[in-house]
Amino acid sequence: MINSDAKTILSVRDLRASVDGTEILKGLNLEVKAGEIHAIMGLNGSGKSTFSKVLAGHPDYEVTSGTIEFNGQDLSGLEPHERATAGIFLAFQYPLEIPGVSNREFLRVAYNSHRKARGEDEVDVFDFDDLIEEKTDLVKMDTSFLDRSVNEGFSGGEKKRNEILQMALLEPTLAILDETDSGLDIDALKTVAEGVNKLATPNSANLVITHYQRLLNYIVPDYVHVMCGGQIIKTGSRELALALEAKGYEWLLEEQAVAS
Amino acid sequence: MSAVAVRDRYLESLLNQATLAAKTSSLTLDTLRATAKALVQEQAFPSNRDEDWRFTDLSSMLETVFQVPDGVTDTTLDQAKALLADISLGTYQAVFVNGTFVDSLSNLGDGLNVLSRLAAPDSLGQVQGNNEVFTALNTAGFTDAAVIHVAKNTVVEQPVQIIYLTVGDTLFVQPRCLVVAEASSAVTLVEEFHSNGSSFTNSVTEVWVQDNAEVTHLRLQQESTKTVHIGKTAVSQARDSRYRSTTLNLGARISRHNLEVYQAGPQTETTLNGLTAIRDKQLADTHSLIALNHPHGTADQLQKNIMDERAHGVFNGRVYVPQKAQLTNASQLNRNLLLAPKCRIDTKPELDIVANDVKCAHGATISQLAPDEVFYLQSRGINHDQAQRLLIYAFAMEMIEPIPVAPLRERMTQYIQQWTV
């Protein structure tokens, strides 16, 4: 929902970032305000996933210039866990399996790390169990998944639902969904989208990275950005996503070439 | 004096010491000891030039003159009691302090006895591999031995716990245990090795699993990091029997565990799980052998090693599948986690397969903590150190969680929690 009076959550200016000495992000600009849903689309290799990892603070990516401000705070120098407790959440494209760590234990440790960062007491096992069971309903997840190892042996859809469960628990200010829809059947997609929509508040924002317009039928964006060559080359409304779906990216790239 | 002469002299002095400690109860045992003594005399103290000892260097032992303990004093007994307090499961238990059986700390019964009160069973010292130098050294000179005899069709409900405590420095102690599980019986054995000084433990445990019997064997080596521990577990499995072991190597300065399972009939089931967690300059070596010799056997082995700081792990896993062992299903996996730049693992799966109709799988992995797993946890608000600890803990707990004796499982869980801090 666009509200011009809303406060700015994320402000990215002329961001450049490299991995192993290769520049992937080449001057990216983006402004996200509270209550908004932004979609980022683009071809493979355009830098979408790199952008999400840079926001979350992945150590393999080096920011070479530009700034990222989150709630007015400069993110450079913040460790990944500090970004997380500050309110940034990245739903992974490929959530990792962690054999030997139960999902319940993982979620509790993560939740308590957020509470500690806010100066609150940690919740005990019993209070946490009540809380987490309530959250599993939201993503229609069977509670038996809580006692299995994190993502181990989960189907693609179960892994993505588990990501949304973590989001529901941690209640981020900015949620970045990195191709959360890819590989999902339509039922799983609807469940994931419903979860995301229920979690949306006027004070938080979503950044949805996707290949497919299909997801945007269920999570309706306020803005659609197209990434190419490490920059956002076009920003539009939802209609832009429909145009991309119908006509592909070629026309847009040609338009860019003519403009430059 | 040449290096060879130094080692020969050293082995000779160990043998002399061992002979001093030997208690003799019968003619059978005398004969057994004499044979073993002759076997030791024929052999040399191992060096790195021996293929079997390539990675495990015992030369630092040569600087210490180990001596057999001179009885058990009241002070020793008090220290032993203090060690025992946290360990005892409160079930049937035999406690050996500095190699000597201590009746007042033990609770015998239900097939658990000690050799000094029995005639030596015919099976003592008979499992294959008994000619190996340290095994023969033990046979030549062990003081007391635990004997567990489970009668036919008997199921021992409570775990039987054998505890070997060594209190003091430069002591040479040779624990010995014999387990005979008769046909269709079942027993759970917990063996624990603890010490508090710079001693040398040379243990031998023989397990006879007779037709259709089931032995669950939990072996914990948690000796002082000044101790040298050499241990042999030799298992003979008759037809349709099941042997399941979990071996935990946590302590000792240098430890070597020779775990050998010999199949003596068809359709046996063998499960070997092992966890080594070492740091500082500890060295832990597991040499396993599964020798199949009959059809329809299954063997499943998972050995996990965690090395930190300058620790050195060694794994040599031999699986022997000769022509006769058709329709065998064997799998072996060795997973290693290296936590510091200066720690080390030498791993060598050794599959020797002649039979043609078999399924055998093996693998060895060596890794550091996966940076992407650490990042995943960090991205949920867990700091870097805590993320690492959680992952190490998880790696270890895969071996701890299946331990069927709850108090031991809980004690090991706590140990791993503290170890990862």
Q: For residue range B379-399, list pLDDT tens digits in order.
A: 999 999 999 999 999 999 999
Does one domain contain both B24 and B166? Answer: yes
Q: Per the domain annotation, does B345 fall within a domain?
A: no
CB B162 within 8 A of CB B134: no
CB–CB of B380 and A98 under 8 A?
Answer: no
Chain B CB contacts of A166 below 8 Å: 380
Residues A59-115 pLDDT 10s: 999 999 999 999 999 999 899 999 999 999 999 999 999 888 899 999 999 999 999
The mean pLDDT of B274-299, rounded to a whole number, is 97
CA dist., res. A7 & res. A173, Å (int): 12
Residues paired with B350 in a beta bridge? B318
Residues A144-202 pLDDT 10s: 999 999 999 999 999 999 999 999 999 999 999 999 988 889 999 999 999 999 999 99
Optimal mutation site among B333, B375, B386, interface A, most CBs of chain A within 10 A: B375
The residues, any chain, with a CB within 8 Å of residue A128's CB and separated by 6 or more, are A104, A107, A108, A111
Domain end marker among B230, B265, B300 = B265
Instruction: Please report the DSSP string for A176-204 in residue order.
Output: EEESTTTT--HHHHHHHHHHHHHH--TT-
Residue A259 has what pLDDT?
A: 74
Q: How many CB pairs under 8 A join A and B?
A: 74
Does one domain contain both B248 and B389? Answer: no
Name the residue with higher pLDDT: B217 or A247.
Answer: B217
Optimal mutation site among A101, A120, A150, A176, interface B, most CBs of chain B within 10 A: A101
On the 0-12 / 13-18 / 19+ scale of CB atoms within 10 A, B150 is: buried
Residue A250 has what pLDDT?
A: 86
Residues of B with CB under 8 A from a CB of A: 370-373, 375-384, 386-387, 390-391, 393-398
Tell me the shortest Cα–Cα distance from A33 to chain B, in angstroms: 22
Flag whether pLDDT at B23 surpasses 90: no
Tell me the shortest Cα–Cα distance from B409 to chain A, in angstroms: 15
Q: Per the domain annotation, does B296 fall within a domain?
A: no
Q: Per the domain annotation, does B173 fall within a domain?
A: yes
Does one domain contain both B391 and B259? Answer: no
Residue A96 has what pLDDT?
A: 93
Q: Per the domain annotation, does B277 fall within a domain?
A: no
Optimal mutation site among B367, B369, B376, B397, interface A, most CBs of chain A within 10 A: B376
Render the burial of B378-387: b for 16+ CB within 10 Å, e for the rest: bbbbbbeebb
Q: Per the domain annotation, does B75 fall within a domain?
A: yes
CB–CB of A98 and B376 under 8 A?
Answer: yes
Chain A CB contacts of B398 below 8 Å: 99-100
Chain B CB contacts of A113 below 8 Å: 380-383, 386
∠ CA A175-A177-A180 to the nearest 5 degrees? 150
Instruction: Please report the DSSP string for A200-217 in residue order.
Output: --TT-EEEEE-S-GGGGG
How is residue B403 annotated by DSSP? -
Q: Per the domain annotation, does B218 fall within a domain?
A: yes
Helix axes A103-117, B384-400, angle to 10 degrees: 160
Residue A52 has what pLDDT?
A: 97
Closest to B373 (Cβ–Cβ): which among A80, A85, A98? A98
Closest to A109 (Cβ–Cβ): which among B371, B382, B396? B382
* Segment (H or E) for A31: strand A22-33
Mean pLDDT of chain B: 94
Q: Per the domain annotation, does B30 fall within a domain?
A: yes
Mean pLDDT is lowest, of A213-217, B110-114, B136-140, B334-338, for: B110-114
Flag whether pLDDT at B25 surpasses 70: no
CA dist., res. B202 & res. A130, Å (int): 53
CB B177 within 8 A of CB B149: no
CB–CB of A166 and B373 under 8 A?
Answer: no
Residue A258 has what pLDDT?
A: 79
Tell me the shortest Cα–Cα distance from A256 to chain B, in angstroms: 35
Residues A214-251 pLDDT 10s: 999 999 999 999 999 999 999 999 999 999 888 888 88
| Residue B378: domain span | 370-421
For residue A15, what pLDDT band results from cuts at 50, 70 and 90? very high
Chain B CB contacts of A60 below 8 Å: 371
The mean pLDDT of B235-260, rounded to a whole number, is 98
Domain end marker among B265, B293, B318 = B265
Does one domain contain both B374 and B261? Answer: no
* Residue of A67, A60, A2, A61 whose CA lies nearest to A28: A67
Does one domain contain both B252 and B125? Answer: yes
Q: Per the domain annotation, does B320 fall within a domain?
A: no
Flag whether pLDDT at B117 surpasses 80: no
Whose structure tokens read 């996996």?
A: B333
Q: What is the pTM of this model?
A: 0.87
Does one domain contain both B197 and B82? Answer: yes
Residue B187 has what pLDDT?
A: 97
Domains of chain A plus CATH, in order, are: 8-259 (3.40.50.300)
Residue B223 has what pLDDT?
A: 97
Optimal mutation site among A113, A148, A149, interface B, most CBs of chain B within 10 A: A113
The number of folded domains in chain B is 2
Sequence-ordered strand ranges (E) for B28-157: 93-97, 100-101, 112-114, 146-150
CB–CB of B384 and A109 under 8 A?
Answer: no
Domain end marker among B220, B245, B265 = B265
